[in-house]
Amino acid sequence: MNRRAIRKALNLLALSLSGLATAIGLFFLGAILWTLIKNGVAGLSPKVFSAMTPPPGSSGGLLNALYGSIVMTLIAILIGGPVGMLAGTYLAEYGRTSRISAVIRFVNDVLLSAPSIIIGLFVYELLVVRMGHFSAIAGAVALAIIAIPVTVRTTEDMLNLVPQGMKDASTAMGAYHWRTITSVVYPAARSGIVTGLLLAIARISGETAPLLFTALNNQFWSTNLLAPMANLPVVIFQFALSPYPNWQQLAWTGALIITVSILILSVTARIVVSRLSPAGRR
Amino acid sequence: MNSSVVTIEARQAAGQRLRERVFRLATLAAALLVLLLLGGVVLSLVVGAWPALSHFKFSFLTREIWNPVTDQYGALAPIYGTLVTSALALLLAIPVSFGIAIFLTELAPAWLKRPVGVAIELLAAVPSIIYGIWGLFVLAPILQAHVQPALIAWLGPLPVIGKLFQGPPYGIGVLSASFVLAIMVIPFISAVMRDVFETVPDVLKESCYGLGATTWEVIWQVVVPYARTGMIGGVMLGLGRALGETMAVTFVIGNAHRIGSSLLAPGTTISASIANEFAEAVGDLYTSSLVALGAILFLITFTVIAFARYMLMRLERRALSNV
């Protein structure tokens, strides 16, 4: 075999392996989704959305857990969204080149990749210890702290995509900087910012670790934000590891619901980016 | 009349200036809150960990014992488990991620690029608890029935590395946890590698092709050397993920506070210990020891993430200077 043939063979081998690697990645996505559908669909019934989490052995649903997850995610995004957007605005507009912005960007990146269970410990020390008990609001704060760095990052990136000429035009009309930001920059970057918020919601709605010792869990219907509140991830965790078949079934169904919602959110976010703002296209 | 117009204008301008100042301060306050959050995290970890650290001193890091009954705690087993599972996960994930990144940037036809890229990114969006129950109910039984017996039979008798594959195939354990972690970090590493590969200037690749190089030679001799720092950054980000990952590991590692020489034996990691025990921990020393574990984890991940960001920042700067 001459040198050329060896090189060609090596090339073919390497490229086939890279195709194989991609197939492996896609295979695991398919395998996980298939497992969820196979095990989760069996338990899907109107009762899942209308009954409370049951004691072992009797039938029930996930209503209180769904409610708790939605409420805590909403509160978290209502706190984390505006804070993240304002901080991102500072980084992209007012403090674009200042030294403190470089530090904030770095710290934000650290928070973005910090283990979520550490955030749970922080909120435990901050709120749960002081209040003396677990509570839904502590869970929501933990989720908000996880949402903030995501929002900061996407907001800054999206605001940076707004052409400088548009801002200059607004400034030339005599607008103050805040007016330029709220009336020109925000509308131009709206779809990008919405995408960031959707991604933040997708990120926090599946988080389990930070809720384990902040919101804890609650077997009953509760709307009291100052008391422990049921939530889907922790219920899945508890039920999946239980020896009771009816609990395990509910865990699979809950897992299916949560994954499908998150995948829909992520795909929607991507569609928003590619459809509405040509600047955001990758 | 003229003077009243002037005062209205002046008042409007003053109102604008006030709003400008308020808005600016609001954004600055939000940005500073990010700093405050990190400060708060560090402070609360140090304060919470202090009782355990001052009680056990340095021996907290070097002892394997973890006994809530006698109130004796040492962090060695979780630290060991965290490092070993993450290292093994990277070992499995790096080649696959590299392959995916190569496929997405150099091989895939344009119509395939986007759907495959999105599918890999969706793998990253799946919450970690889903990986956990999938690992426990699907992957662990498969590993137990097919993979682990083969490993024990083939690798067990070998000298040195045979030690890693001893004992019964439990299904759950260090190896299974590493496997699940590997699947979890693949999308993160391959996404960064893909982005980094895309920064390689086409001119460089084309000149190499022009010399008659095959695609693989272009990748290995042009793309990889150019993108090396970014690739290391991406791997480090993946490592940061793996080190701190909680739910996926908690399901499949077996939660045993000991250091087994075999990869098939159950073990524990820092995050799994905290997740399992924190809500039920009784006694100040117990709770404080778990927070101390958290502080150690934070220190490790902080170092890794900071290093990753530094590498990626260096690459960004170079990409800018090339333009």
CB of A113 within 8 A of CB of A201?
Answer: no
d(CA A117, CA B271): 7
- Mutation choice for B interface testing from A111, A208, A217 by most B CBs within 10 A: A208
**Which of chain A's residues have a Cβ under 8 Å away from the Cβ of B34?**
87, 104, 107-108, 111, 148-149, 152
Q: What is the CA B286 to chain-centroid distance, rounded?
A: 27
In a mutagenesis test of the B interface, which of A118, A134, A155 is the best target, namely the one with the most B β-carbons within 10 Å?
A118
Which residues, numbered 20 to 49 in chain A, qualify as contacts with chain B under a Cβ-Cβ cut-off of 8 Å? Answer: 20-22, 24-26, 28-29, 31-32, 35-36, 39
Minimum Cα–Cα distance from A122: chain B residue: B41
Q: Percentage of chain B with pLDDT > 70?
A: 97
| Average pLDDT of every residue of chain B | 85
**Domain range list for chain B:** 1-55, 59-322
Confidence category of residue B298, pLDDT binned at 50, 70, 90: very high
> How many CA atoms lie less than 13 Å away from A11 in the CB half-sphere?
17
A279 pLDDT higher than 50: no
Residue B73: strand pairing partners: B66
Site from B34, B137, B239, B245 to mutate, A interface, most A CB atoms within 10 angstroms: B34
Nearest to A90 among B27, B102, B237 (CB): B27
Query: Lowest-pLDDT range, A144-158, B164-178, B179-193?
Result: B164-178
Give contacts of A89 with chain B, Cβ < 8 Å. Answer: 27, 30
Interface predicted TM-score (ipTM) of this complex, two decimals = 0.86
DSSP helix/strand/coil, A240 = helix
Which chain A residues are Cβ-neighbours of B116 within 8 angstroms?
Answer: 22, 26
Q: Residue B322: which pLDDT band, with cuts at 50, 70 and 90?
A: low
Instruction: Identify the residue with better confidence: B313 or A183.
Output: A183
At residue A141 the predicted structure's pLDDT band, cuts being 50, 70 and 90, is very high
Closest alpha carbon to B105 in B211, B195, B233, B214: B195
Confidence of residue A77 (pLDDT cuts 50, 70, 90): very high
Give B17-33 pLDDT, tens digit per residue: 888 889 989 999 999 99
Average pLDDT of the segment spanning A92-113: 87
3-state helix, strand, coil split of chain A in percent (to 5) is 75, 0, 25
Q: In the predicted model, what is the mean pLDDT of residues A181-200? A: 88
Q: With an 8 Å Cβ cutoff, are B99 and A18 in contact?
A: yes
Q: Which of residues 133-152 of A touch B (CB under 8 A)?
A: 145, 148-149, 152
Percent of chain A with pLDDT over 90: 20
Neighbours of B142 (CB within 10 A): 13
CATH class of B59-322: mainly alpha
pLDDT on residue A280? 41
Q: Are B62 and B72 in contact (CB under 8 A)?
A: no
A220 touches chain B (CB under 8 A): no
Residue A239 is predicted with a pLDDT of: 86
pLDDT by residue (tens digit) across B84-111? 999 999 999 999 999 999 999 888 888 8
- In which element (H, E) is residue B172 found? none
Q: Shortest CB distance from A263 goes to which of B97, B104, B125?
A: B125
Which residues of A are less than 8 Å from B99 in CB distance? 17-22
Residue pLDDT, tens place only, A20-68: 999 998 998 899 999 999 888 888 888 778 778 887 777 788 888 888 8
Burial of residue B41, with CB atoms counted within 10 A of its CB: 0-12 exposed, 13-18 middle, 19 or more buried: buried
Give tens-digit pLDDT for B237-293. 889 889 988 888 888 887 777 777 777 778 888 888 888 888 777 778 888 888 988
CA of B72 to nearest chain A CA: how many angstroms apart? 21
The predicted model gives A190-209 an average pLDDT of 87
Burial A80-89 (b: 16+ CB within 10 A, else e): bbebbbbbbb
Per-residue pLDDT tens digits for A103-131: 898 899 889 888 889 999 999 888 888 88
* B126 vs A19, A32, A118: nearest CB: A32
**Bigger pLDDT: A132 vs B163:** A132
Q: What is the pLDDT of residue B186?
A: 92
Asked whether B173 and B140 are in contact (CB, 8 A), the reply is: no
DSSP-assigned states of every residue in A53-91: PPPTTS----HHHHHHHHHHHHHHHHHHHHHHHHHHHII
This prediction's pTM: 0.87
Which of A21, A93, A202 comes nearest B99 by C-beta?
A21
- Judged by CB atoms closer than 8 Å, whether chains meet at A117 and B217 is answered as no
